[in-house]
């Protein structure tokens, strides 16, 4: 009987670590204070756990104000590294480089059934970010630049199936999918231009430009740069950012394909 408390005490650090991982996963990014509030763990304990996870490569400190976030290494704790997870890992240095050079926030999203799931963002690296934190949230296909770019550049049969799913949805954000002539024309224009833009949103001054990351004949992801529309015209934004974004997308695709072949 005397050994039971010792055994229980021995697993407490593991349980605390798992609780911390779950909390960070749900939050996307979190400060020490918010982690303390969400987990109930003392701040000194959290600091020790975070330092350990940082040294092991599972957590990174984003900034003093933003706090902490998980790295892609945590995906190795699951049953396996999926292709969509690999493209996120491949993209991080390219997205950070874009923000370092052009200052605006850049993000990457992958397909999630009938929407785009925001998987990576440099929002906390940008001095000009005004958007809310969309990390791990789903974005509508026909309104977001990311979704429009995916639909325009994915294989024909995949596009047909996706549009059929979106048309069957009762969600207001998917209503325009029923105007097949409009959607077909919009996607053809995006393919011709090589990029997609965000649908104008009332009260939202931010605009997005998105391009696909094409790997092994498919769209592995899409990346977007977000800028404030009042600071420049779309034509000016395209002149400044489209070529660097396309080069980044090509770099991500090449890195992704190397990871797949190495795996």
Beta strands in the chain (DSSP E): 29-30, 59-63, 67-70, 106-112, 115-121, 138-140, 196-197, 206-215, 218-228
Q: What is the pLDDT of residue 223?
A: 98
Q: What is the pLDDT of residue 244?
A: 97
Q: What is the pLDDT of residue 83?
A: 57
Per-residue pLDDT of the chain (263 residues; tens, 9 = 90+): 334 444 444 467 788 888 898 888 878 788 999 999 999 999 999 999 999 999 988 899 988 888 998 887 776 665 444 556 889 999 999 999 999 999 999 999 999 888 999 999 998 899 887 777 788 889 999 999 999 999 999 999 999 999 999 998 888 888 889 999 999 999 999 999 999 999 876 666 788 999 999 998 899 999 999 998 888 999 999 999 999 999 999 999 999 999 888 75
Q: Which domains does the chain have, with CATH numbers?
A: 3-73 (1.10.10.10), 81-262 (3.30.450.40)
Q: What is the pLDDT of residue 91?
A: 95
Tally Cβ neighbours within 10 Å of residue 209.
23
Q: Is the pTM of this model over 0.85?
A: no
CA of 195: how far to CAs of 30, 52, 69, in Å? 33, 42, 30
Q: What is the pLDDT of residue 8?
A: 46
Q: Within 13 Å of residue 235, how many CA atoms lie on the same side as its CB?
A: 0
């Amino acid at each position: 009987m005397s050994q039971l408390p010792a055994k229980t005490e021995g697993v407490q650090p593991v349980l605390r670590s798992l609780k911390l991982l779950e909390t960070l996963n749900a939050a996307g990014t979190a400060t020490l204070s918010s982690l303390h509030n969400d987990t109930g763990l003392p701040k000194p304990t959290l600091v020790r756990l975070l330092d350990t996870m940082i040294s092991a490569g599972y957590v990174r400190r984003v900034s003093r104000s933003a706090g902490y976030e998980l790295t892609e290494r945590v995906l190795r704790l699951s049953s396996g590294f999926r292709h969509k997870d690999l493209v996120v890992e491949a993209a991080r240095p390219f997205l950070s480089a874009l923000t370092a050079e052009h200052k605006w926030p850049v993000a990457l999203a992958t397909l999630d059934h009938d929407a785009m799931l925001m998987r990576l963002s440099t929002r906390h690296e940008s001095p000009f970010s005004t958007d809310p934190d969309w990390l791990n949230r789903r974005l509508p296909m026909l309104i977001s630049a990311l979704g429009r770019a995916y639909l325009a550049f994915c294989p024909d049969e995949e596009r047909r199936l996706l549009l059929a799913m979106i048309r069957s949805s009762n969600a207001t954000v998917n209503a325009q999918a029923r105007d097949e002539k409009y959607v077909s024309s919009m996607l053809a224009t995006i393919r011709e231009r090589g990029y997609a833009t965000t649908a104008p949103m009332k009260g939202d001054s931010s605009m997005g430009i998105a391009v696909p990351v094409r790997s092994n004949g498919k769209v592995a992801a899409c990346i977007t740069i977000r800028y404030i529309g009042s600071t420049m015209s779309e034509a000016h934004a395209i002149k400044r950012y489209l070529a660097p974004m396309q080069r980044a997308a090509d770099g991500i695709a090449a890195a992704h394909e190397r990871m797949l072949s190495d795996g």
